[in-house]
Structure 1
Amino acid sequence: MKRDRLQSKEQIRECYDRVASQYALNLFNELEGKPIDRELLDNFAERLKGKGIICDVGCGPGQVTSYLREQGLTEVYGLDLSPQMVETAQSLNPEITFMQGDLTALNVEDGAWAGMIAFYAFVNFSKSQLPIIFAEWHRVLQKEGLLLLAFHRGKEIKHVEEMWGVSLSLDFHFFETEDMLALLRKAHFKIERVVEREPYPAVEYPSQRTYILARA
């Protein structure tokens, strides 16, 4: 049965604390097998070089953060709700600063960031929570700042009780592309590019993916 219950941040944090080491072990090198992701990140990095601070929200072990730094973004940082995930990311990427924080209420001044990456950052949040999240992201971006986000495309809510042998309890939300575009526009983002792709079955969960590039 499809459910749309809200998960507490404490539950989300605790689950990712528990799975952080296995998450990094299995996904840190995933971009090697995702050429479309790399092309999107390359373009994002090229446009933001020298423009200011870029934050990878929901950064996990920092695989995207690390890739962006390799593309020349020296002011890229990572932020995650899970302290253990932040610790893991910091150990894997000692040259990058990672911070624990809440992507729904960022401790950042208005217009502080030139860009944001959010790859599956809101996957454990309900659609009803996204207007608040997108409004907060718009607040912290500079005028014309860039947001690049990715999500699983569809209508389902997948409940997971185990990841890589670690017991947990999390709902993973899929979203329709048109719904996300409408929510971003309501938060005053301007849509620049939309990319939809099929999964790379050898390196990721077999779901369809959507990427949206938008300007604040």
Structure 2
Amino acid sequence: MTGEQRQRERMRTGYDTVAGEYQRRIGGELAGKPLDRALLAALVEQAGPGAAVADLGCGPGHVAGFLAGLGAARVVGVDLSPAMVELAREAHPEAEFRVGDLCELPAEEGEFGAAVALYSVIHLSGEELAAACAELHRVLRPGGRALVAFHLGSEVRRLTEWWGHQVEVDFHFRPLAAVAEALEAAGLAVEVRLEREPGEGEAETRRGYLVARRP
């Protein structure tokens, strides 16, 4: 097992451990995030009628449920954590959920008209980010767009205690340009670049958003 594989296994274990508490604390977060809601609505509208939409790193499924509520014809959530996927299936039967890795997505080529990755690429090393961007390109149909959100910076923070549980989860902070370059290197065209300050109740980190299209 490589170092990256061991880290992903530690991440899976960490998210399995905190899944219930994560759902309780984070599951309603979109109610206080009007910018995120607007970007998700624009993505679904641009995908067009009948398009399937992916929520990559879906956690307990709250974003997938919101996407389904916007009228997306089919929503598929993917998460590395089986415990998260189980919670998502229970809470949001209007969407489909799959256990899977961002670097090896359980999806067909061109399956999705749009994809969302909100704060899921933050757990990926540089090589893993490149692989995940290549997978994003693969699963999007031509003309399909992806919305990617992440923490801005240039450091790696390791979380060893999370809501009273011992974990070992790495968070990669990156400049907006670095993630844009990774998407473009995978063949995606970046159309939108946004940065914002943290909102009320959020962790004190600046946030970056990118919208990229498969030509």
TM-score (norm 1): 0.93
Distance 2:7 2:168 in 1: 11
Query: After alignment, is 114-123 or 124-133 more displaced?
Result: 124-133
After TM superposition, the structure 1 = structure 2 runs for residues 53-92 of structure 1, keeping only pairs within 5 Å, are 53-92=52-91
C-alpha displacement of 1:8: 2.6
Q: Which residue of 1 aligns with 2:117?
A: 118
Post-superposition Cα deviations, 1:8-37, rounded to whole Å, max 9, x if no partner, equal 322111111111000000000001111111
Unpaired segments ≥5 residues, structure 1: none
Q: Which residue of 1 aligns with 2:206?
A: 208
- Aligned with 2:63: secondary structure? helix
Q: Which residue of 1 aligns with 2:105?
A: 106
Matched pairs, number: 211
C-alpha displacement of 1:51: 4.0
Asked whether the 8 Å contact 1:49–1:72 carries over to 2, the reply is no
C-alpha displacement of 1:141: 0.9
Q: Which residue of 2 aligns with 1:10?
A: 9
After TM superposition, the structure 1 = structure 2 runs for residues 138-157 of structure 1, keeping only pairs within 5 Å, are 138-157=137-156
Q: Which residue of 2 aligns with 1:177?
A: 176
Asked whether the 8 Å contact 2:50–2:72 carries over to 1, the reply is no
Distance 1:63 1:146 in 2: 20
Runs of 4+ in 1 over 4 A off after TM superposition: none
Query: After alignment, is 136-145 or 106-115 more displaced?
Result: 106-115
Give the AA of the match of 2:168: S
Distance 1:52 1:179 in 2: 29
Post-superposition Cα deviations, 1:106-164, rounded to whole Å, max 9, x if no partner, equal 23222121111000112111123211111111011111111111000001211111222
- Aligned with 2:123: secondary structure? coil
Asked whether the 8 Å contact 1:195–1:212 carries over to 2, the reply is yes
Distance 1:188 1:101 in 2: 22
Distance 2:113 2:11 in 1: 28
Distance 2:98 2:88 in 1: 10
Give the AA of the match of 1:188: G
C-alpha displacement of 1:103: 1.3
Q: Which residue of 1 aligns with 2:166?
A: 167
Q: Which residue of 2 aligns with 1:30?
A: 29
Q: Percent identity?
A: 38
Asked whether the 8 Å contact 1:197–1:208 carries over to 2, the reply is yes
Unpaired segments ≥5 residues, structure 2: none
- Aligned with 1:206: secondary structure? coil
Distance 1:127 1:199 in 2: 25
Asked whether the 8 Å contact 1:153–1:207 carries over to 2, the reply is yes
Q: Which residue of 2 aligns with 1:158?
A: 157
Structure 2 residue 132 is matched with structure 1 residue 133: yes
Q: Which residue of 2 aligns with 1:39?
A: 38
TM-score (norm 2): 0.93
Post-superposition Cα deviations, 1:152-211, rounded to whole Å, max 9, x if no partner, equal 000121111122222211111111101111111111111111111100132x21110011
